[in-house]
Amino acid sequence: MIDYIHAVMLWLVVFVPSSALASLLVKRGKTFAVTGMQGALLILSLVLIAFLQIPLSFRPLYLLQAVLLGFSLSLLLNWVEQLLTRRVEVPEFLPEGLPWRVLLLLILAPLAEETLNRGLVEGYLLSHGYLWSAIILSAVLFALPHWMAFEKTSLGERTFVTAGAFVMGVTVAYLFALSGSLLTAFTFHSSANFGGLLIAHLRIGQRS
């Protein structure tokens, strides 16, 4: 039990100050806020990983599976979401401009969030001999910020987005446990975000 408490505390040590930084930067615009938060998530996670000597690998394992799983699962979840909620807008917390969204969703967010949730949290628990509990906990912690980020949407949409993030989290956490490679987790996350970004812009194009 103590190892799970330590894992959650590690997540909080990274997430809370990163969120606080985003709150300070939001006055300068959404781009500064989300970029600053993701940058802080990445840096603080790497510092703790180095301090705790959690083993990390960037071996190119299961990359094709990661691309196919991430993209196809994202398309499926977005299709179901469209049937249930009819949402067509890009979430308001994303920065303005397609280039910034691409940079955030395809590079910075996958790097930061996978380093935190897989590298730090799951890596810590895996190094202590846990498997499925490490997968589930890292997925829960990955899904939690999605619940907070969609606070201005309806309860049904917010629940669906969070549940979808949890499914994504379990899948990528399993791939990480299987491969031991943070590159695999990053590839999955980036492919999933690409699918979501593509669907969102296609919907908006059809509506306009």
The model's pLDDT over 76-119, given as tens digits with 9 standing for 90+, comes to: 998 888 777 665 455 666 667 778 888 999 999 999 999 999 99
User: Are the beta carbons of 181 and 61 closer than 8 angstroms?
Assistant: yes
Percentage of the chain beyond pLDDT 90 is 70
Q: Which residues pair with 57 in a beta bridge?
A: 181
Q: Report the residue count for the chain.
A: 208
In the numeric block, which tokens belong to residue 144? Answer: 């939690």
**So what's the pLDDT on residue 190?**
98
pLDDT for residue 36 is more than 60: yes
User: Are the beta carbons of 187 and 66 closer than 8 angstroms?
Assistant: yes
pLDDT digits (tens, 9 = 90+) for 13-26: 999 999 999 999 98
Q: What is the mean pLDDT of residues 144-161?
A: 85
**So what's the pLDDT on residue 148?**
87
Question: Mean pLDDT, the chain, as a whole number?
Answer: 90
**So what's the pLDDT on residue 166?**
98
In the numeric block, which tokens belong to residue 135? Answer: 């997968």
User: How do the domains of the chain map onto residue ranges?
Assistant: 2-207
Q: Which residues pair with 181 in a beta bridge?
A: 57
- Residue 23's Cβ-side half-sphere holds a number of Cα atoms within 13 Å equal to 7
**So what's the pLDDT on residue 199?**
82
Is the pLDDT higher at 148 or at 69? 69
Q: How confident is the model at residue 141 (pLDDT cuts 50, 70, 90)?
A: very high
Chain centroid to Cα 68, Å, comes to 17
